[in-house]
Amino acid sequence: MFTRTTKATALCTALLLFAVACGSDDSTGNASPTTTAAPVEQSPTTAPDQMTDNTMSSLMDGDIICEQQHAGKTVTIFSPVRDSANSTPIADYIAAYQPLVDCTGVEVVWEGTDQFETEINVRLQGGNPPDVVNYPQPGLMAQHARQDFLFPLPNHVAARLTTDYISGWDAYGTVDDVVYALPARSNIKSLVWYSPSAFAAGGYTVPTSLEDLKSLSDQIAADGGTAWCIGAESGVATGWVLTDWMEDFMLRLHGEDVYDQWISHEMAFNDPRVVEVVEAVGSYVKNPDYLGGENLVKAIATTRFQDGGLPILEGNCYMHRQANFFYGSWPEGTTFGEDGDVSVFYLPSPAGGPDYLLGGGDVYAATTDKAETFDVIAYTGSLDYMTEIAISRADLVPHVDLDVNVYSDPFNSTLAELQLGADVFRFDASDLMPGAVGAGTFWTEVTDWVIGGSTEDFVDNVEASWPR
Domain 2-188+359-421 is found in CATH 3.40.50.970:
no
> Is the whole model's pTM more than 0.85, yes or no?
no
Q: What is the pLDDT of residue 168?
A: 85
Domain extent listing, the chain: 2-188+359-421, 191-322+433-465
Pair 64, 104: CB distance under 8 Å: yes
CA dihedral 120→125→128→132, nearest 10 degrees, is: 40
Measured CA to CA, the distance from residue 187 to residue 398 in angstroms comes to 9
Q: What is the pLDDT of residue 326?
A: 93
Question: Could you state, in chain order, the average pLDDT of each consecutive group of 10 residues for the chain (468 residues)?
Answer: 42 38 36 51 36 55 94 97 86 97 98 92 97 93 95 96 91 95 95 97 98 98 98 94 98 97 97 98 98 97 96 97 92 92 96 94 97 98 97 94 92 90 92 90 98 98 96
Q: Fill in the DSSP letter of residue 331.
A: P
Q: What is the pLDDT of residue 35?
A: 60
Measured CA to CA, the distance from residue 137 to residue 153 in angstroms comes to 18
- Beta-carbon contacts of 432 under 8 Å, excluding residues fewer than 6 positions away, are 137, 138, 139, 142, 172, 263, 438
Q: What is the pLDDT of residue 139?
A: 87
One-letter amino acid identity for 32? S
Instruction: Phi first, then psi: give them for residue 402, nearest 5 degrees.
Output: -65, 135
Instruction: Phi first, then psi: give them for residue 448, nearest 5 degrees.
Output: -60, -40
What end-to-end distance do the CA atoms of the chain give, in Å?
A: 52
The fold of the 191-322+433-465 domain, in CATH, is: D-Maltodextrin-Binding Protein; domain 2 (3.40.190)
CATH topology match: 2-188+359-421 vs 191-322+433-465: yes
Return the SS3 of 58.
strand
Measured CA to CA, the distance from residue 356 to residue 453 in angstroms comes to 29
